[in-house]
Amino acid sequence: METEVLVVGAGLAGLNCARILKEKGFKVKVLEANTRIGGRMATDFVDGFTLDHGFQVINPAYPELVANQLVEKLELTPLPKGVEIQIDDRFILLGDPRKSLSYLPGDLSSRTGNPAEKLRFLQFLFQKAPEVDLGTALNGAGDFYRKVIRNFLMGVFLTDPDLVSAVMARELLHWFVKGNPGLPRTGAQALPRALAQNLEIEFDARVTKITESGVQTNDGVRTSEFVVIATDEVFAREILGQAAVDMNSSTTWYHAVELGEIESKHLRLGSSYGVVNTIALSNLVKEYAPSGKTLISTTTLNNQSERGIRSALSRIWQMPESKFQYIKHYEISKSLPKHLPGKPLLSPVKISDRIFAAGDYLAVPSQQGALQSGRLAAEAIIASS
Ligand SMILES: Cc1cc2nc3c(=O)[nH]c(=O)nc-3n(C[C@H](O)[C@H](O)[C@H](O)COP(=O)(O)OP(=O)(O)OC[C@H]3O[C@@H](n4cnc5c(N)ncnc54)[C@H](O)[C@@H]3O)c2cc1C
């Protein structure tokens, strides 16, 4: 008889876990509280615009994407490997000089830090990181960290990068150096969609309790031999009776301008006016906006007023406020788990003989971490059965 497994949550962790178990012959059902798959990787299509719930890129170098042979299916358009950063009212372009020599003047400019600071940052990347917070680890990288790297990482960690674990930050930065992250033609949800093929998923099935023989949902009991809790950290801790935690939060704003008004394809780091970063997404993937329009995505950590965001955009993109048409915004109250110094890069997934956990909070908070922990939970069940 097939071994039955219930996977709670159809985010990347749950889907990868379910997919691996199904391939090994287990009878797997995914219970999802929402009406769609993907969890934090969701996409809406509104009036011809493609709106991801948060500016989110996919790194084809992530080992789980390579192992699952997903990279080709995602039709990724790579982002340029550089950023535009505002220093003293001027935008400076800098980035990976191996990709474009146009980054060199910005890389070498003393306005972005002195050579010793830049060298200190390179040393950090290529040495074992200490178990301290990133602010302490990169103290020696002075202005280069404060003015450039820190602003970039604010959009990666969705919190003050000074506070996060230096070991985790170095791990994630490594993937940026190694790969060339991109956007799928049909939005971020292309990744969970590719993983979910042929899986049995029950939507609108909110799990409220783990029982002796399975789980309790909003409309009844489901039984199984194994249960995998593949939800965000807040709910996982609640249902497993562990101490409560907070997660980082962020807001993503979408505006449109007339085609041709903004030509940059680079991520522009705000650092002021409450904006973390802003980018003209449809300059990279034209399908993100209807014809004649350019779609702008802007990330903030707090939920500012729309008027305030438009005023910030006007200053950052140096265009009148009236040119920005508001499309929609997404407040993401649980965007990323907090990964503080001392937390391991991988945490155990086994809770008891029949309960397992998966999710990005058990690994490096990222798509790769979520997929990896889903794989570990599947492998632990395979080993136990
Ligand atoms: C704004 C933003 C930008 C990001 N950018 C990047 C990026 O550029 N690169 C990168 O690698 N990562 C990025 N990430 C991180 C990445 O998206 C997440 O790490 C990953 O998607 C988390 O997947 P998960 O399966 O662990 O959790 P989730 O996606 O949260 O999935 C959990 C699922 O469980 C379901 N669920 C919750 N409670 C219940 C319940 N009681 N019953 C049933 N189902 C339940 C939820 O509805 C959800 O579908 C970003 C995240 C955000 C928010």
Place of tokens 């899986």: 199
* pLDDT band, residue 271 (cuts 50/70/90): low
Taking the CA of residue 370 as reference, the ligand 1 atom at the shortest distance is: 26
Q: Is 12 helix (H, G, I), strand (E, B) or coil?
A: helix
* pLDDT band, residue 304 (cuts 50/70/90): confident
The pLDDT > 70 percentage for the chain reads 99
Taking the CA of residue 368 as reference, the ligand 1 atom at the shortest distance is: 11
Q: Which CATH code for domain 43-61+74-78+247-337?
A: 3.90.660.20
Q: How confident is the model at residue 95, as a pLDDT?
A: 94
Q: Is the pLDDT of residue 292 over 80?
A: yes
Domain ranges in the chain?
A: 4-41+189-246+347-384, 43-61+74-78+247-337, 113-179
CA distance 174 to 12: 21
At 93-147, the pLDDT tens digits run 999 999 999 999 999 999 999 999 999 999 999 999 999 999 999 999 999 999 9
Place of tokens 């194994």: 226
Same fold, 4-41+189-246+347-384 and 43-61+74-78+247-337: no
Q: How confident is the model at residue 89, as a pLDDT?
A: 79
At 99-111, the pLDDT tens digits run 999 999 999 999 9
User: Can you tell me the mean pLDDT for 290-304?
Assistant: 94
Whole-model pTM over 0.95: yes
CA distance 5 to 232: 19
Contacts of 360 (CB under 8 A, 6+ apart): 12, 13, 336, 337, 366, 367, 369, 370, 373
Q: Is 15 helix (H, G, I), strand (E, B) or coil?
A: helix
H-run or E-run covering 91: strand 90-95
The pLDDT > 90 percentage for the chain reads 94
Nearest-CA residue for ligand 1 atom 1 is 54
Q: Right CATH number for 4-41+189-246+347-384 from 3.50.50.60, 3.40.50.300, 1.25.40.10, 3.40.50.720?
A: 3.50.50.60
Nearest-CA residue for ligand 1 atom 6 is 56
Q: How confident is the model at residue 87, as a pLDDT?
A: 86
- Kindly give the distance from the C-alpha atom of residue 261 to the centroid of ligand 1, in angstroms, as a whole number: 34
